[in-house]
């Protein structure tokens, strides 16, 4: 169940469409989509799922705030 306040803030109505991803056993991701954005949204969720799997395999890295922002600037 999605709380009423959140439904209002996100403009979720009856018939709203979501893509659901299950990147790990105890995590469920919902992304509200418009049908025109479907393929881009699916690609984004596939990337998120792939990243979670890498993190679970110990392939994630940690960084300080400064290191993270420096890496982000490269993008």
**Residue extents of the structural domains in the chain:** 4-74
Q: Which SS3 state, helix, strand or coil, does residue 24 take?
A: strand
Which residues, other chains included, contact 49 with Cβ-Cβ below 8 Å and sequence gap of 6+?
Answer: 21, 22, 23
Give me the pLDDT at residue 20, please. 87
pTM above 0.75, yes or no: no
Give me the pLDDT at residue 24, please. 83
Q: Which of the residue ranges 36-40, 58-62, 69-73 has the most confident prediction, judged by mean pLDDT?
A: 69-73
Give me the pLDDT at residue 36, please. 66
Give me the pLDDT at residue 7, please. 92
User: What are the pLDDT digits (tens) for 11-44?
Assistant: 998 888 888 888 888 999 888 887 666 777 778 8
State the Cα–Cα distance between residues 18 and 12, nearest whole angstrom: 10
């Amino acid at each position: 169940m999605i709380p009423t306040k959140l439904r209002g803030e996100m403009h979720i109505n009856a018939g709203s469409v979501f893509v659901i991803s299950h990147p790990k056993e105890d995590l469920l991701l919902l992304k509200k989509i418009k049908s025109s954005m479907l393929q881009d949204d699916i690609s984004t969720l596939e990337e998120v799922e792939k990243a979670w799997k890498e993190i679970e395999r110990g392939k994630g890295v940690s960084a300080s705030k400064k290191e993270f922002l420096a890496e982000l600037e490269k993008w």
